[in-house]
Amino acid sequence: MYLKAFIFCLLLFFAASPLIAAEQIEVVVRGLEGNALKNVQAALSLPEGIVRDGKVNFPWLEHFIRQADEKVRTALEPFGYYNPEIRIILETVNQELYRLLAEVEPGPPVRVSDVHIFLQGPGSDEASLNELIAQFPLKKGDILLQEEYEKAKGTLKARALEAGYLDAEFSTHRILVDRIEESARIELGMETGPQYYFGETSFEGAADYPDKFLKRYLAYKSGDVFSSVKLRQTQLNLINSERFQEVIPSPEREKTEILHLPVVIRVKPAPSRRFRSGIGYGTDTGARFSIKYSDLNSLSRGHELRAELNISERLQGVGVSYRIPGYKDLDSFTEFKGNAQREDTDTYETRIVSLEAGNTRSLGKGRLGTAYLRLHHEDSTVASEKNEAFLVLPGIRLSANRYDNLIRPSRGYLYAAEVRGTHAYLGSDIGFIQGILQGSILIPLPWRLSLYSRIRAAATAQEDALSEIPASLRFFAGGDRSVRGYKYQSLGPKDEKGEVTGGKHLIEGSVEIERALFSDWGIAAFYDAGNAFNSLSDIQMYQGAGLGLRYYTQIGAIRLDIARQIDVDNPSTRIHFSMGIEL
């Protein structure tokens, strides 16, 4: 109500105010529409100073009117109109307002009568260039659109450079317009010059890093066709490693007389040792505090040493990892981890000490495969049952992540599949095998809407009773990233006392529609469903739905959700709050 009143007062204010100087001459264009109209309007924009101190400079205005005809003709040519009929009129509306009227009859557009595009030089048979020529957007009979011509011309030049023809130039580039016949002939010829290749690559400014380690960031190999895109990708790889403040790749064309260009990459290292601390809050964890230490060049070999201390109301833990990068590709590495943590929820209490060794290999762009072996000791209490177990736990994990942005993605998907298990033959106290599948997808929709959906499913086959399996290896549902409307880990099979004991299997999913607001905000409506269970015959799906508010920051999204339980007696409403990157 107050906002409407404020806007109404503003409208009254401006309606009652005298016209500002620029509004004393009104420019009106008739007879056009779309982009042609916008281009003509821009061409007829009045120069500053034509009205000063409330008075129109008529000599200057008359000079502008004499030029207006040519301005309109030039503005129409990019859209194929070369024979327009134009009438420029200056009208007096009242003592304080004049109207400059441009009445335009564009006439029939000029159409392409012939297109002749050709290549000369060593690259005349280059398939990617000839493919672009075959797909040239302007063909015989089309309206002559100069924007399409210039765009296609630029694409052809960019493709030539990307194919290694660094000396490529247009030897012929002209459009011959016959205004009488209302036709145009396009002639475009490119001299490709020789094809260049990558030579040897050297680094300057990174003496503390082994040369073999640095070259794992190269997006090309010596002998590959020279590509500025691959050079920029190399620069991005090095910057994203967080090891360098500045990366400047320079092909040394003047230092070679052959077609293999040496590349010098000059870098400015960032500090390799860092401390970071953080505080936050989430309804799953409560208030939390963390300290992180990292050394990104341990032993001066590019190895990564990381240590982290996390303290929250429900979870306390310390972890250390040591990562040895692989030299086959950028995403391969071997990692050793140590972890000790305590978690205390309304459902269970558990203490874990674990050691893990794993090897991760790239399976293609965005796809990873990991094999690991974990030594796991856990002391837990679920409901009124206490459990202590030692496990030798091997596993395999496959994953792919193709979201376009980690902070505020607009599209993409994630999936992961994991199989893990153990047996008394390996030295474990119990035997079981588990499979876990999860995935998510984000799809952009019209009107700044997006659809986000996720699903997670798991199954267990075990030799021993479920009560012998530690709490962290059982399945529970409920919470910020599960079924909203319910407490964290509060859903699952119950014992005779009504206490949740966790389940052998799990299925849960969510569908969420978000509407973007401004540049950093969003509102969402969501529906969640899921539960943990021991057999399909006793599965009961719990449901929650609600509305959410999103605020996107450089450290991830701040999410506030209000969820209502569905299809239960005496449903309750629960607030969920979280901050960070969630995919």
Model confidence pLDDT, tens digit, residues 369-428: 999 999 999 999 988 888 899 999 999 999 998 888 777 788 899 999 999 999 989 999
* H and E: helices and strands count for the chain: 7, 27
Question: Which of 47-61, 351-365, 474-488, 489-503 comes out lowest in average pLDDT?
Answer: 47-61
pLDDT at 159: 92
- Mean per-residue pLDDT for 38-44? 90
pLDDT at 581: 52
Determine the 3-state secondary structure of 238 from DSSP: helix
pLDDT tens by residue, 230-273: 999 999 999 988 899 999 998 887 766 678 899 999 999 999 89
List C-alpha distances in Å: 436 to 395, 421, 433, 583: 11, 11, 10, 17
Mean pLDDT of the chain: 88
Determine the 3-state secondary structure of 15 from DSSP: helix
Nearest to 515 by CA among 499, 526, 504: 526
Residue 185 CB contacts under 8 Å (≥ 6 apart), including other chains: 112, 113, 114, 115, 116, 175, 176
- Mean per-residue pLDDT for 81-100? 86
Confidence of residue 11 (pLDDT cuts 50, 70, 90): very low
pLDDT tens by residue, 557-575: 888 999 999 988 889 999 9
Model confidence at 20: pLDDT above 60: no
pLDDT tens by residue, 186-237: 999 999 999 999 999 999 998 899 999 999 999 999 999 999 899 999 999 9
Calpha distance 434→456 (Å, rounded): 13
The domains found in the chain, sorted by start residue, are: 18-105 (3.10.20.310), 111-191 (3.10.20.310), 197-269 (3.10.20.310), 273-580 (2.40.160.50)
Q: CA geometry: angle at 296 spanning 290 and 301, to 5°?
A: 150
Calpha distance 22→123 (Å, rounded): 55
Model confidence at 17: pLDDT above 70: no
- Mean per-residue pLDDT for 36-65? 84
pLDDT tens by residue, 506-532: 999 999 999 999 888 999 999 999 999
Confidence of residue 582 (pLDDT cuts 50, 70, 90): low
Determine the 3-state secondary structure of 25 from DSSP: strand
Residues 80, 109 contacting (CB under 8 angstroms): yes
Model confidence at 4: pLDDT above 50: no
- Mean per-residue pLDDT for 444-469? 90
pLDDT at 7: 36
Calpha distance 61→24 (Å, rounded): 12
Residues 546, 571 contacting (CB under 8 angstroms): no
Residues 199, 222 contacting (CB under 8 angstroms): yes
**More reliable by pLDDT, 456 or 406:** 456
pLDDT at 465: 77
- Mean per-residue pLDDT for 275-289? 81
Residues paired with residue 550 on neighbouring β-strands, in sequence order: 522, 559
Confidence of residue 9 (pLDDT cuts 50, 70, 90): very low
Show the tokens assigned to 245. 């403040």
pLDDT tens by residue, 141-185: 999 998 999 999 999 999 999 999 999 999 999 999 998 888 999
pTM surpassing 0.85?
no
Residues 472, 458 contacting (CB under 8 angstroms): no
Nearest to 330 by CA among 266, 241, 262, 226: 241
